[in-house]
Amino acid sequence: MNTLTATLPLGAEPEPDPQRDAERTAIIDGLLQRGFPGMMFPVALEREFQQAGLEAKRAHIVKSGFISLLVFNVFLVADYLMLPDVFDLALTLRLLVFTPLALLFLLAFQSGRVRWLSQATPLGLEAIAMVSGLAAAAVLAFILSSSDSPLSYLYHIGFMVVITYGNIVQRMRFWYAVVFSVILIALHVFGVWALPSFPERMMLPLMSMVLASAAFTLTANYALENDERRRFLLTERERGLIRSLTQTQVRLRELSRVDELTGLYNRRHFESAMQQLWQRASFGRTPMAILMIDVDHFKKFNDHYGHPAGDACLRQVCQVMKQTLSGQGVIVARFGGEEFIAAIPGLDEDASLALAEQVRAHVERCQIPHERSATSTVVTASLGLAWCEARPEMKVEHLLALADGALYDAKYQGRNRVCNQST
C-alpha cells in the first residue's frame, strides 16, 4: 500500500548519492588539470573507461581486420618481386593458411554467435589485436627465414608495416602497444642476427627505420589514447553536471509542491492532483471522500507553548495522518495553518467514516498536553468528511465545500469529533 505524501511520492526512485557524485567530479577535474601521463585512471574510473569503449573497439577490430587482411595479401606482390624462391610458400601461408583462419575468426567475431568472443573483456580485445599482429609477423619471419634471395634483407621493412598495424590501425592501448612493439623489434633484431647473408652496411639503416617506425607510431598511439581519455573525462564531467542539474530541478519541483514544515504536499499541489484524481473517479463512477482536519485551539497552543512546540505538534499530527491514511491513491496535504486535507478514493461511506474516526482517536492518543484547550487537556482534532460516488456531471468543488461544511459542524458541535456529509 502507498500513501501519496510528499515524503514518498508515487513512483519515486531512491535519490542518487550527492557525495559520491561530488567525489567523482573532483577526481575527474583533478585528472583534467594534472593530466594522466601514465595512461591510467583510478581503478573504478579506469574500469568505466574500458567498458565505455568496448562496443566501439569490437566494431573497429572487425572493420580494420578485413582491411588489414586485404593489405596482408596484397604483399604477395612484394613476395613475388623480392623473394621469388619462396613465393609458393608465401602464397600457401598467406592465402591458404592465414587468410582462411583470419576470415573464420572475423566472421565469428562479427556474428556474435561465439560466446567467448561476443563477451570478450577489454583485456581480451587487446589480446586479440596483439595476437593478430604477432601472427602476421610470424608469417613474415618464417617466409624471410626460408628465403635465399639476395633482396631478402629488404623484407625486414615489413616489420614496420606490422608495427603500424598494431599501434595505429588496431589502436591497441598504449602499454599493450609498447609490449607489441618491443616483441616485433626483438624479432627484427633476431632476424638480422640469424640471417648470415645480411649485408653489414644495411644493418644500422634498417634497424634505425624499424626503431623510428616504432617510436613514431607509439607517439601517435599515445596522443590518440590521450585524446580519447580526455574526451571520456569531459563527457563524464558533463554527464555529472547534467545529473546534478537534473537532481536540483527535481528537488526544486518537489519543494514547490511540498510543505517545508510537515513534509506533506502543499495546497497548490493538492488542488492540482485532486483534479486528476476526480477525473479518474468520475469516469469510473467510483467512491470519493474528502477529509478536512483541523487541530483544535491551535492558536492558544502556540501562544502558550511557543512556536517551536507548535511546529513539533503539527509534525506529530502529520505523522499520525501519514500512518493512518495509508491507502492506494490517497493524497494528504497541509491546507493552511493547522488545517489539513486528504483525498480518499475507493472506500464506501462507512469505511471512510471509520478511517476519519481512527485519525481523530490517534491524534488524541498522542497525549500532547494542551492546558489552554477548552475541549480537552490534550491536543485534539476536529474532522469534516464529505463522501460521494463521483459522477461526470458533478464538480469536485462541491465535494470540497461539503467537507468544509462538515468541519464547521464538527467545530460547532464541540470539537474533537467527526462530522460527515454525503451527496
- Count of residues making up the chain: 423
Q: Do 101 and 142 belong to one domain? A: yes
Quick one: CA dihedral 162, 167, 168, 171, positive or negative?
positive
Q: Which residue has the higher pLDDT, 324 or 118?
A: 324
The pLDDT value given to residue 8? 35
Q: Do 123 and 53 belong to one domain? A: yes
User: Does a structural domain hold residue 295?
Assistant: yes
User: Does a structural domain hold residue 23?
Assistant: no
Helix (H) or strand (E) holding 215: helix 200-257
In percent, the amount of the chain with pLDDT more than 90 equals 51
195-251 pLDDT, tens digit per residue, is 666 667 777 788 888 899 999 999 999 999 999 999 999 999 888 888 887 777 777
Known catalytic membership, residue 260: no
> Are 229 and 49 spatial neighbours (Cβ–Cβ below 8 Å)?
yes
Residue 77 to residue 21: CA distance in whole angstroms: 58
Q: Which residue has the higher pLDDT, 411 or 146?
A: 411
What total of structural domains would you count in the chain? Answer: 2
Q: Do 80 and 174 belong to one domain? A: yes
Residue 124 to residue 126: CA distance in whole angstroms: 5
Q: Which residue segment(s) compose the domain that 91 sits in?
A: 35-240
Residue 404 to residue 210: CA distance in whole angstroms: 91
Q: Do 321 and 221 belong to one domain? A: no
Q: Which residue has the higher pLDDT, 64 or 190?
A: 64
The pLDDT value given to residue 9? 40
Q: CATH no. for residue 393?
A: 3.30.70.270
CB-based contacts of 305, cutoff 8 Å, min separation 6: 313
335-376 pLDDT, tens digit per residue, is 988 999 999 999 999 999 999 999 999 999 999 999 999 999
User: Does a structural domain hold residue 29?
Assistant: no
Q: Do 228 and 358 belong to one domain? A: no
Residue 135: Cβ-neighbour burial (10 angstroms; 0-12, 13-18, 19+): middle
Mean pLDDT, the chain, rounded, equals 87
292-315 pLDDT, tens digit per residue, is 999 999 999 999 999 999 999 999
Per the DSSP assignment, residues forming a β-bridge with 421 are: 386
Q: Do 122 and 222 belong to one domain? A: yes
Q: Do 323 and 401 belong to one domain? A: yes
In percent, the amount of the chain with pLDDT more than 70 equals 93
- Average pLDDT score over residue span 132-158: 83
Question: Interhelix angle for 99-111 vs 54-74, to 10°?
Answer: 160
User: Does a structural domain hold residue 19?
Assistant: no
b/e map 93-108, b = 16+ CB within 10 Å: bbeeebeeebeebbee
Most confident of 113-117, 272-276, 374-378: 374-378
**What is the tally of helices (H) and strands (E) in the chain?**
16, 6
Cell representation of residue 205: 639503416
Q: Do 416 and 303 belong to one domain? A: yes
Place of cell 471522500: 289
User: Does a structural domain hold residue 5?
Assistant: no
b/e map 318-333, b = 16+ CB within 10 Å: bebbbebbebebbbbb
What DSSP line would sit under 62-105, residue for residue?
HHHHHHHHHHHHHTHHHHHHH-GGGHHHHHIIIIIIIHHHHHHH
2-21 pLDDT, tens digit per residue, is 333 343 343 334 355 677 87
Residue 264 to residue 252: CA distance in whole angstroms: 15
Residue 6 to residue 253: CA distance in whole angstroms: 11
- Average pLDDT score over residue span 374-380: 95
Q: Following CA atoms 245, 250, 253, 258 in sequence, which dihedral angle do they give, to the nearest 10 degrees?
A: -130
Q: What are phi and psi of 162, to 5 degrees?
A: -65, -40
**Lowest mean per-residue pLDDT among 47-56, 247-256, 317-326, 383-392:** 247-256
Q: Do 277 and 312 belong to one domain? A: yes
Catalytic residue among 126, 225, 236, 338: 338
Q: Do 179 and 214 belong to one domain? A: yes
Tell if the pTM clears 0.85, that is, is over it.
no
Confidence of residue 1 (pLDDT cuts 50, 70, 90): very low
User: Does a structural domain hold residue 8?
Assistant: no
CB-based contacts of 420, cutoff 8 Å, min separation 6: 349, 352, 353, 356, 384, 385, 386, 387, 406
